[in-house]
Amino acid sequence: MAPGGCRHPTGVGDAGRYDAVIAPDMSEPSSRPTVPDDTVAQQAQAGSSALPLFAGGDVAAVMAGFDWSASTLGPPAQWPGLLQTMVRILLTSRFSMWMGWGPDLRFLYNDAYARDTLGAKHPWALGRPAREVWSEAWDDLGPRIDAVLRTGQATWDEALLLFLERSGYREETYHTFSYSPISDVDGGIVGMLCVVTEDTERVINDRRLATLGGLAAELSSAQTERAVFDAVTERLAANRQDLPFALTYVFEGDGGARLAAASGIDVGHPAAPPRIDVKGGDAAWPLDEVLRTGRSVLLDGVATRFGALPSGAWEDPPDRALLVPLAEGGQTDPVGVFVAACNPYRPPDPAYRNFAELLAGQVASAMASARAYEAERQRAEALAELDRAKTEFFSNVSHEFRTPLTLILGPVEDALADDLEPLPDPQRLRLRVVQRNARRLRRLVNDMLDFARIEGGRLEAETVPTDLAALTREVALSFAPAVERAGLAFHLDVEPSVRPVAVDQGMWEKIVLNLLSNALKFTLAGSVTCRLRPEGDTMVLAVSDTGVGVPADQLPLLFQRFHRAPRTAARSHEGTGIGLALVAELARLHGGSVAATSEPGVGSTFTVTIPMGTATGTAIAGQRESSRQAFLDEALQWVADEVDEADTADRRTLAGRTAEATVLVADDNPDVRGYLRRLLEPFWRVVVAADGAEALELARRDPPDLVLTDVMMPRLDGFGLLTGLRRDPATATVPVVFLSARAGEEAAVEGLDAGADDYLVKPFSGIELVARVRSNLELAALRNREAQWRAALVESLQDGVAVTDAAGRMVEANAAFERILGYSHTDRYDPPYPWFPDPEREPAHFAQTNGAFEQLLAGERLNAVLPVRHRLGHQLFVALSASAVGEGDDRRFVVALHDVTAELAAAEREAALAQLATGLAEATDVAGVRRAGLAELRRVFGATDAVVVSWADDRPQARGADGSAVPLDGRATEALARARDERRVVAAAADGSRTSVEDEAGPVSEEAGPVSGVAAPLDPADVHRALWLDIDPPRPMSADDRSLVRLVANLFGQALRRAQLFDDLREVATALQRSILGPTDVPDGMAVRYLPAVRALEVGGDWYDVVGLAEGCLAVVVGDCTGRGLQAATTMGQLRSACRALLLQAKGPADVIDALDSFAERIPGASCTTVFCAVIDTDEGTMRYSCAGHLPAVVLEPSGATTLLDQASALPLGIAPGRSRPEASATLAQGATVLLYTDGLVERRHEAIDAGIARLRLALGDMAGHHPTAIADGVLDALLPAEGQEDDVAVVAYRQGTPDLHLTAPASPEHLGVLRQQLRHWLAAVGVAQRPADELVVAVGEACANAMEHAYGFDPAAEVAVDATYRAGRIEVRVTDRGGWKEARSTSDERGRGLAIMRALVDEVDVQRDPGGTVVQLRRRLAAPDAAREG
Amino acid sequence: MTPALTIDTRDGADGTAVLHVAGDIDLSNVERFRQALAGGPPGERFVVDLTDVTYLDSSGVAALFGRAKQGGLELVIAEGCVVASLVELAHLDDLATIRTS
C-alpha cells in the first residue's frame, strides 16, 4: 500500500481500507465456519456507516436509483451482509469486475466493467440474469460458470475470443478472466465473481504486426512483380481475420485495372473481376474515386453490392471494405488500389485504416523495386539480343560463303587430280590459281566465322594436352619454304616444355601461322625467328623479324580488328586486317595474352604468352581442319609467281602426318637410329634417344605413344627403360617394343616376361617393323580407350574425386579436386591430409574432419559436410561422400567432394537478410532504421563500417549508425559517385597504392582481387542516397555478395524511405498537436507540460488548456482522445476549441462536459474521449470540477498531504449523451497545488492504474511548497520511465496563490542562520531566481540583525517576526520587533551602513517605529526574468 | 542548514599566506571573523579569500573596513555574487585591493 494512500484514509480510491474487511470474511471462508452470520452483517454494517453501499462512480449512481424491489434481489437494505460487502468491493474497485448472485446469477458490475466490456448494455444489464446479459457468448461462458458453481474451483482463461454485442454490433474481443465462486459462511456457493481484463487491442495489434512483418520479410526477396504479388497473395491469406479477403488492383495504361493479387477470394468472383474498367460507371469497386482523390475510401454496404462474399475466418461475410491507394512515398499518382475487406467484427477505426495503409505502402514500394529490376533486366536482355543478332548475321553470311567455296574447290581439286583425263598445262596453271585463291578465301571465311563464334561466346578452346614444342616446330617448318623462298633466314628455336601444354591445336596453329605470315609480309630482308620457351607456368612464343617495324603510336592499335598498317613497305597490301586481332582473341581464349614491341626500320617482335593450363578435352579429340596449306599458299604467292608443285606436295604429306602418334626410338647406334627414323617418319612423329636413360627422360617429359628400344644400351638398357616406364603412372601404359640382335625363344620370353608388348629380332624388314609398330599402336589405343574414357569421365566431373588405398594414401585425383582444394592432383598425400583444418588453431574443426576420415578408414560410409582449408589458407566447406571398394590390402576408398562454401554462405546470407528485414520492420523512425540497418549490414558483410551517404551540392555526406557524420576518402567518394550515376553496385578494389574501381558488370570476377569497399545505390527511385561499406582488410567479393549488397541496399533504402514518410507524418501531426495543444504562456503560478510519446509511431491525442475567465476565474482542462495520429490530433483540436468556447460562455464544468457530450457525437473519433474540467476561482481559492472518465486530479496541500478529486466522475464523452453530468467542488488552501494529468503519466503495462496514482501521490508528497514548475518537472522525472514514455503525457499544475511566510525567532544572533535558510526555501518555492533571492536574504538579514541588536540587545526571550508575502509579482517582507529602540548600542556608522545595504538591494524600505516596537517593510518587484523559472 | 563559518590559512599561488573564509558571516560569528582579520601585521599585504563566503552582512563589512583602514588588505571575491555587490556598495575598493576569482 502506498504511503500516500495510508495518510488519507478517506480517499475513495484507497484500497487499503478494504483489506481490513476482506481479510476475515473472504480470504479464508472455510477456516472460520463458526463465525455467526450476524458478525458478518455487523462488519458490513460497520463498513457501511463509513461508506454508503453504492459509493463510487456512474454505476453506483445508477444502482442507487434502481428499483430493486422489482428484481429478485429485493431491496438493498435486505441484502445479505455478504452481498453488501461484495457490492462494495465491486463498486469501488478499478479492476473490471462483475458478479452473479443467487440461483440465476443476477448481474452486478462496476464502472470499469461497464466502460470496457458492457458498453451499450449498461445500465440495461443491471440485475438481469447473467445468461440473458451475455446470451450471445453463453455457449462459451455457460459451461465455465456451471463448472465454477458445481465444483467451487476457479477458472482462468487467457485472451479468450468472445463475440460481444456491446457497441451495437457483434464485436471480436479477447478477454483474460477468472471466475471464482462466492461462498457463504456455510461453504455453500451463492454466486460467482469474475475479474476480467480486456486484451482485444493487444491481440489484434499483434496479429496485424505479424502480418506486416511477415509481408515485409517476404517482399524483401521479391524481385519481380509476379513474386511481389505471389508474396502478397500468400501472406495476406494467412490473416483471414483482419482481411477476410484482399485484392490488389494495378492500373494499366488503357484506363483499366488488372487484378494482380487476390487472397481469400476466387478470381472471377463478382467482387474480384480480373479486370475493372476504372472509368466505367458500373465498376465492381469505385477505383476511380481512389485514383481521383489519392486517398483511402471506406466502402459500406459491400454485402449488398456483391451478394454472397467469402467470410474469411468468420461466420459473417464482410460488409465494409477499405480501398487504399497503392502509392509510393513521395508519389502522388497511385499505381493501383489495395482493397481490404474489413473484419465485420471490428470497427473500421484509424488503427484498421492504418494497418491497411501500411500494407498498401509495402506493396507499392515492393512494386516500384520490382519494376526497376524488371526495367534493368529488359535492358540487359535487349542488348544481349542485339549482340546475338549481329553474331548470327555474321555467321550466316560466312556460312553462306562456305558452301559455294566448297563447290568451287572440290571440282577444281578433282580436275587437278584427274590422271585419266589430265588437264593440259595451261589449264592446270589457271586452275591452280583458282585453287589457291579459293583456299585463301575459305581461310578468311573461317577466320570470320571464328570471330563470330568468339563474339557470341560460342568458340571455346578445346584444349588437349599437347607437346607444344613439337606442334610449333611442325607448324613453323610447314611455313619455312615460304620464308626461305623469300630469301630470308629462318631461325627456329623451340625448347620443349616440361609437361604437355593445354592448347587447342587448331587455334595454336593459327596463332603461329598468322604471326609468321605477318612477319614475312613486312620483312623485305634479313630474317624471321620463331622462338618457344617455357617460362614458369607459361609458354612464350616470340616471332621476331627484321622488317619495317611499327611506329610507337600504332602499336596499341595492332590487335584491333580490321586495323591495317598504313601504307608501308610490305610484300603485299592485301589482307583483311583481322590476322593479329584473331591472334589476340585466340590467345585470350587460352587464358593468355599477346604483346608487341617494335622499332621502325629495325624490326618487330610479337609475343604470345599462354598458361600451360589444364586440358578440357582429351588427347583423342579429333583434329580440326588444318589451315597450314592455305597460309603457305598465300605466303608463297607473295614471294613467287610460280609455286613448286613437288615441294608443296611433299610438305602436304609432312603436314598430314601430325595427326599420327609419336614413336620414341632408343638405340645407341646412330646408323640404326637414322634408319629407323627414315622408316617411321613417313607415318609417325619420331623422337630419338641415344640410350635408355635419355629415352626415359624424354618419355617422362612427353610420353610417347610407343617406345621402340634396343635391349643392349649403355647407361640404361632396354629392361631398365621398361621398368622405369612401367613405374611411372604417366608412362605405365605406353607399349614398348624390343629390338634385339639376340635371337631365340628365350630372348623373346625374357622380354615379354619383363612386360614388353612386342619383340623384334634384328635384322628385320622395314615393312614388318612398320606393321608391328602400327598394330601395337592400335592395340594400345584399344587398350587405353577404356582407361582414357574413364579418366576423361573423372576429369570432366565438376566434383572432386580422389581414390585412396587401404591406408588412406591418395593414389589418384582429378583436376576438379585440385581446383577445389588447391593441392596438385598428381601428388600423393597421406592422412592427416594437408587440407585438413589446422589442429592447433581450429581443433574442433580438425577433430570433426579428421574423425570423419578415421571412421571412413575403419569401414564406415562417409557422407557429411566438413570444414577444410584451401592450400591458400581460406576456409572451405565441402560436401563429402566416400565409400569403400574391394577388400583387404586391395581395398580402395573413393571420395567425392563438392564445394558447398558458397551455398552455405548464401544460406547464411538469406538468414541475415530475413533478420535485416525483421529489424527494419520493427524500426519506426529514420534514426531507428539507420541504426538497425547499418548494424546488420556491417554484420552480414563483415564490414568495418557501414554508412548512409547523401549528396548536397554534389558533396557526399556520410552518416554512421548513430547518426554522426563520418569522413569519406577519395576512393569511397569515387565509387559512390559512380554507384549513384550508373545506378549499380561498385566495388573499390585496392591493390597496393593504386586504387581501381570496378563494377559488377565489369571484368571483376572472384579471383579479381580483394575489395576494400563497396558502394551501392540505396533505392532505384532515390538518386540522392547511397550506401558505403568499408572493408578492411580488403577481401574478395563474389558476384553473389555483390547482388546481395544490391538487394540489401534496396531493402534498406525502402525502409529508410518508409521511415522518412512516417517521420514526416509524425512531425506534421506533432506540429499540429502542438499548435492546437494549448497555451504555453500561462499565468504566473502555473506550469504546463506536454511530452509526445517517445517510441510510438504517431502522436497521441492528449491535450490541455488553460483559459482565463472573468472575475479572477481560471479554467483548467486536460483530455485524452482515443486513437493516435492525425485523426486523433484533429479530433482533439475540435474538442479543445469547443471546450474553450463553452468555458468562455461562463458555463460550469458539468455544463461544459454535458455540451461536449453531444458535440462528441458529431465528431468522428471523439467518442470515448476523457476530459477533466475544472474552473478555479483564484481569489476565493475554490474550484468546481467535473470529470468524464478521466483520471482524478490530485490536490497537494502545503502540508504534503494529497487528495484525489474524484467526486464528480462519470462516463467518457459520447458514450451516453443526455445524462446530466456530476459536478463537485473543492477548496484550495493558500499554497495548495492542483495537478491535472493524462494517463501516460501513471499508466504502466501490467500494472493497475491505482498503483500508478499511488506512485504519483507519493512523489507529490515530497514536493509540498515547491513552485508549480518544479512540481510539474518533478512528477515527470519521478514517474516516467528512463527509456522514454510509450504514451504521450500532458500535465497541468496550478498553485493557489503563494503560501505566505510567517517566521519568528528568539532575538539572538545564532538564530539568524535559521531565519535565512527558511527565507531562502520560501523564495525558491515562490520561484524567485538565485540572484534576487540572495539580495533579498541580505536585506532581510540586515533588518533582523538590526531588530535583535537595537531593539532587544540580543535578549533571547524576546522575539523577532518575519512575515513575507508574494502578490502580483511583488515580494513584501515585514520584520517586526516589540522592543524599544536603543540607539546607543551601535555606532551610527554601522547602522547606517545596514540601512544603505537594504535600500540598495530592495525597491522600497519603510521603517515605522513607535513605542510598541519597530516594523521594517521591504518590498521588491520581481522583473519577469527574476521570477521566471518557467520557460 | 546555513553553511557554518570556517576560517583557515592556506598557501596562495605566489607563496604568500591567504586567509580563506567560507560560509555565512553574520552577527553570530562576526567576532571570530574580526579576530582572524587582525592576524596580519598592519600595512603589510594581507590576502583574504572570500570566494566561498555565502552570506555577508553589514557587521562583516564593518570588520573588513576595520582591517582595510590599516592598509595592505587584498580581497579575493567571486565575480557577480552578492558579496561583490556589498563590497562595491561599501566602497571598500577605496581602501583595499579587490581581485575577482
pLDDT confidence of residue A637: 64
Is beta strand A1224-1227 parallel, antiparallel or unpaired with respect to A965-966? Answer: unpaired
pLDDT band at A1003 (very low <50, low <70, confident <90, very high): very low
pLDDT confidence of residue A1390: 57
Exposure string for A829-863, b = 16+ CB within 10 A, e = fewer? bebebebbbeeeebeebbebbbebbeebbeeeebe
Give the number of residues written for chain A.
1431
Please report, rounded to a whole number, the percentage of residues in chain A having pLDDT higher than 70.
84
Task: Answer yes or no: are the C-beta atoms of A1299 and A1230 closer than 8 Å.
Answer: yes
Q: How many CB atoms lie within 10 A of CB A889?
A: 8
The mean per-residue pLDDT over the stretch A44-58 comes to 60
CA distance A312 to A240: 5
Beta bridge partners of A1103: A1119
The mean per-residue pLDDT over the stretch A950-975 comes to 83
> pLDDT digits over A1036-1053, tens only?
676 667 777 777 787 888
> pLDDT digits over A1307-1333, tens only?
888 888 889 988 988 888 887 888 889
CA atoms within 13 Å, Cβ hemisphere of A216? 27
Nearest to B55 among A1337, A1348, A1396 (CB): A1337
Average predicted confidence (pLDDT) for chain A: 79
Task: Answer yes or no: are the C-beta atoms of A1325 and A1267 closer than 8 Å.
Answer: yes
C-alpha cell at A854: 578415421
pLDDT confidence of residue A892: 81
Residues of chain A found within 8 Å of residue B33, distances taken between Cβ atoms: none
Is residue A944 scored above 90 in pLDDT?
no
H/E run at residue A296: none
Task: Answer yes or no: are the C-beta atoms of B96 and B74 closer than 8 Å.
Answer: yes
Residues 57-86 of B with CB under 8 A from A: 57-59, 61-62, 80-82, 85-86
pLDDT confidence of residue A23: 32
> In 3-state terms, what secondary structure has residue A539?
strand
A1308 to chain B nearest CA, in Å?
A: 8
CA distance A120 to A113: 11
CA distance A144 to A157: 10
pLDDT confidence of residue A647: 34
Q: Which of A455-459, A755-759, B61-65 holds the top average pLDDT?
A: B61-65
Lowest mean pLDDT among A679-683, A1185-1189, A1374-1378: A679-683
Cell 497511385, residue located? A334
- Between A400 and A117, the more confident residue is A117
Contact between chains at B57 and A1317 (C-beta distance less than 8 A): no
Task: Answer yes or no: are the C-beta atoms of A1404 and A1368 closer than 8 Å.
Answer: no
Contact between chains at B61 and A1393 (C-beta distance less than 8 A): yes
Residues of chain A found within 8 Å of residue B81, distances taken between Cβ atoms: 1334
Nearest to B58 among A1309, A1316, A1390 (CB): A1390
Phi (first) and psi of residue A482, to 5 degrees: -65, -40
pLDDT confidence of residue A1116: 92
CA distance A320 to A103: 42
Task: Answer yes or no: are the C-beta atoms of A751 and A739 closer than 8 Å.
Answer: no
Is residue A1028 scored above 70 in pLDDT?
yes
> pLDDT digits over A105-137, tens only?
899 998 888 888 888 888 888 888 999 888 888
Measured between CA atoms, the residue of chain B closest to residue A1396 is B89
- Residue A945 contacts by C-beta under 8 Å, 6 or more apart in sequence? A938, A960, A966, A1028, A1029, A1030
Nearest to A553 by CA among A565, A543, A541, A544: A565
Is residue A1 scored above 80 in pLDDT?
no
CA distance A959 to A965: 5
A1338 to chain B nearest CA, in Å?
A: 7
Contact between chains at B26 and A1312 (C-beta distance less than 8 A): yes
Is residue A1237 scored above 90 in pLDDT?
yes
pLDDT confidence of residue A119: 82
Is residue A1022 scored above 90 in pLDDT?
no
Contact between chains at B57 and A1338 (C-beta distance less than 8 A): yes
A154 to chain B nearest CA, in Å?
A: 59
- Between A1372 and A1367, the more confident residue is A1372
Residues of chain B found within 8 Å of residue A1334, distances taken between Cβ atoms: 81-82
The mean per-residue pLDDT over the stretch A1090-1106 comes to 72
The mean per-residue pLDDT over the stretch A856-875 comes to 83
pLDDT confidence of residue A436: 77
CA atoms within 13 Å, Cβ hemisphere of A137? 21
pLDDT band at A391 (very low <50, low <70, confident <90, very high): low
Nearest to B90 among A1348, A1391, A1393 (CB): A1393
ipTM over 0.90: yes
pLDDT band at A885 (very low <50, low <70, confident <90, very high): confident
Is residue A592 scored above 70 in pLDDT?
yes
Is residue A609 scored above 90 in pLDDT?
yes
pLDDT confidence of residue A1223: 92
Lowest mean pLDDT among A161-170, A623-632, A728-737: A623-632
The mean per-residue pLDDT over the stretch A620-640 comes to 62
Nearest to B28 among A1309, A1342, A1390 (CB): A1309
Is residue A1095 scored above 60 in pLDDT?
no
pLDDT confidence of residue A617: 61
> Is the preceding omega at residue A763 within 30 degrees of 0, hence cis?
yes
Lowest mean pLDDT among A416-425, A981-990, A1106-1115: A981-990
Nearest to B86 among A1310, A1338, A1389 (CB): A1338
B6: contact with A, CB 8 A cutoff: no
CA distance A1093 to A1155: 30
Nearest to B27 among A1309, A1335, A1397 (CB): A1309
The mean per-residue pLDDT over the stretch A731-756 comes to 71
Contact between chains at A1345 and B61 (C-beta distance less than 8 A): no
Strands, DSSP E only, in A423-578?
464-466, 489-494, 501-503, 527-535, 538-545
Contact between chains at B82 and A1341 (C-beta distance less than 8 A): no
Chain A contacts to B (CB-CB under 8 A): 1309-1310, 1312-1314, 1316-1317, 1331, 1334-1335, 1337-1338, 1341-1342, 1345, 1348-1349, 1389-1391, 1393-1394, 1396-1397, 1400-1401
pLDDT confidence of residue A577: 59
Residue type, B89: L
- As to burial, measured by CB atoms within 10 angstroms (0-12 exposed, 13-18 middle, 19+ buried), residue A924 is middle
Lowest mean pLDDT among A469-483, A543-557, A753-767: A753-767
> pLDDT digits over A1172-1217, tens only?
999 998 888 899 999 999 999 999 988 889 999 999 888 888 887 7
Interchain CB contacts (distance < 8 Å): A and B: 64
Residues of chain B found within 8 Å of residue A1389, distances taken between Cβ atoms: 62
Residues of chain A found within 8 Å of residue B28, distances taken between Cβ atoms: 1309-1310, 1312-1313
Q: Which of A612-616, A1105-1109, A1390-1394 holds the top average pLDDT?
A: A1105-1109
Beta bridge partners of A1065: none
CA distance A966 to A104: 74
Residues of chain A found within 8 Å of residue B2, distances taken between Cβ atoms: 1313-1314, 1316-1317
Is beta strand A892-899 parallel, antiparallel or unpaired with respect to A875-885? Answer: antiparallel
Lowest mean pLDDT among A167-176, A612-621, A1194-1203, A1297-1306: A612-621
DSSP string over A906-927: HHHHHHHHHHHHHHHHH--SHH
The mean per-residue pLDDT over the stretch A36-43 comes to 41
